Copies of this chain bind each other. A is one copy, B any other.
Amino acid sequence: MMSMDLNSDMGESYGVYKLGCDEESMPYVTSINVACGFHASDPSNMLKTIRLAKKYGVAIGAHPSFPDLVGFGRRIMACSSEEIKADVIYQIGALWALCKTEGLTLQHVKVHGGLYNAAAKDIVVATAIAEAIKAVDSSLYMLCLGNSLMVTAAQNVGVKYVEEAFADRAYTNQGTLVSRKQPGAVIHDVDIVARRVLSMVKEKSVKSIEGIDIPISAQTICVHGDTPGAVGMIKAIREKLEQNDIKLAAFGR
């Protein structure tokens, strides 16, 4: 029986500020990426998120970021390789300790926002992240954008990794994501998204924005849980996969 993982960013509330629909979407995903305080979250919100994940048996990963709370980690910063490495290790450890108090371990690390975008295109950044992960715990997976320099870095460094595809994003003929600035970059139709994900899992391919079947290698599908509509999409994807005898399970299990 085939299986697939659905991952989503969670724990991005901060102090009194609430962000996302963690409680609504947690029952439907299999892995989560928990903010670690650099772009979002704080120790108390991280702990709350961990407890929610525990309740539903969801696998936990760290979601480290550039140190930019006011910018939500979305702005690329010209940090050095050594700074990125130390920052990523710090954030993994903080989440690890909070998980440990609940008897849980970490499955993976997926970097956030600007750091993710930088790592996808800059081998120096991607390598710093891979080295950080390996240095802390070689059993951790690096969650990589499929077909990007993150994968190259993970292979070079020798860290375990999985590739992710995006449920609701259009792809170019080359297998890269269509820029959000272009029309059609984000797919909003729930049925189409669910069918695309099914194709990614069963056929290991998806139609590009120009209509060509392109190969997709993904061990996890990124979904969003930040709006009620987004939660509906997760449910639809899950249902579609289950109807087609695909088991939903965290990739590390």
Question: Which residues of A line the B interface, CB within 8 A?
Answer: 14-19, 37, 42-44, 46-47, 67-72, 75-79, 82-83, 86-87, 89-98, 100-101, 114, 132, 135-137
Q: How far is the CB of A181 from chain B (nearest CB, A)?
A: 14
Nearest-neighbor residue (CB-CB) of A72 within chain B:
B16
Q: How far is the CA of A97 from the CA of B87 in the complex (A)?
A: 11
- Closest chain B CB from A56 CB (angstroms): 21
B43/A89 in contact, CB under 8 A: yes
* Residues of chain B contacted by A96 (CB below 8 angstroms): 93, 96-97
Known: A17-B17, A68-B77, A76-B77. A97 touches B101 (CB 8 A): no
CA distance A187 to B191 in the complex (A): 47
Chain B residues with CB under 8 A of A92: 97
User: B residues within 8 A CB of A87?
Assistant: 43-44
Residues on the B chain within 8 Å of A97, using CB: 89-90, 92-94, 96, 136
With the chains together, A71 CA to B14 CA distance in Å? 9
A132 to chain B, nearest CB (A): 8
A15's nearest neighbour on chain B, judged by CB, is B70
A100, closest chain B residue (CB): B136
Min CB–CB distance A80 → chain B (angstroms): 8
Among residues of B, the one whose C-beta sits closest to the C-beta of A75 is B78
Contacts of A42 in B (CB 8 A): 70, 86
- Of B19, B83, B86, which one neighbours A16 at CB under 8 angstroms? B19
| C-alpha spacing A102/B36, complex, angstroms | 22
Residue of B nearest to A79 (CB): B75
Chain B residues closer than 8 Å to A14, beta-carbon distance: 14, 17, 70
Asked if A78 meets B76 with Cβ closer than 8 Å, knowing A86-B98, A97-B136, the reply is: yes
In the complex, 20 of the A-B residue pairs with CB atoms within 8 angstroms, ordered by the A residue number, are A16-B19, A17-B19, A42-B86, A43-B83, A43-B89, A46-B90, A47-B86, A71-B77, A75-B77, A76-B77, A89-B98, A90-B94, A90-B97, A90-B98, A93-B93, A93-B98, A93-B100, A94-B94, A96-B96, A96-B97
